């Protein structure tokens, strides 16, 4: 399974009021705001774009570095299923990603 359909649906529902595009990327499903990657669902995890300083999130439970290429990507984290099991947990991660991505110019 390239991405968890249930998790993708939860992300989609939470972002429904925004103009979000979906695109298959990273072997999963990415959600983009104004052409900028916001989050992605890969397998049963959530990849979250937090921007500069986002590495602080690595101190939180169920969070690890996003190292798709073998090298950790600065400003990105992966949240394991236990960290997004509850709707309020998922909402928090989406809000954090939105707070950063909304500062970026549209592509």
Q: Both tokens of residue 63?
A: 């969070």
Asked if pLDDT for residue 85 goes beyond 60, the answer is yes
Q: What are 13-42's pLDDT values in tens digits?
A: 999 999 999 999 878 999 999 999 999 999
Q: DSSP letters along 51-106, please?
A: -TTGGGGGGSTTEEE--TTSSPPTTEEEE-GGGSSSHHHHHHHHHHHHHHHTTSPP
Name the CATH topology of 5-101.
Yope Regulator; Chain: A, (3.30.1460)
Asked if pLDDT for residue 1 goes beyond 70, the answer is no
Asked if pLDDT for residue 2 goes beyond 70, the answer is yes
Q: Both tokens of residue 47?
A: 């990849």
Residues sharing a CB contact under 8 Å with residue 8, sequence separation 6 or more, in sequence order:
29, 41
Angstrom distance (rounded) from CA 14 to CA 12: 6
Q: What is the pTM of this model?
A: 0.94
């Amino acid at each position: 399974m390239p991405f968890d359909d249930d998790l993708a649906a939860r992300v989609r529902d939470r972002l429904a009021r925004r103009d979000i595009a979906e695109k298959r990327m990273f072997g999963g499903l990415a959600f983009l705001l104004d052409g900028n990657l916001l989050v992605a669902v890969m397998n049963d995890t959530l990849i979250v774009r937090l921007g500069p300083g986002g590495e602080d999130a690595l101190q939180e439970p169920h969070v690890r570095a996003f190292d798709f290429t073998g090298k950790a990507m600065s400003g990105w984290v992966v949240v394991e299923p236990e960290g997004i099991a509850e709707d309020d947990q998922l909402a928090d991660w989406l809000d954090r990603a939105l707070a950063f991505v909304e500062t970026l110019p549209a592509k």
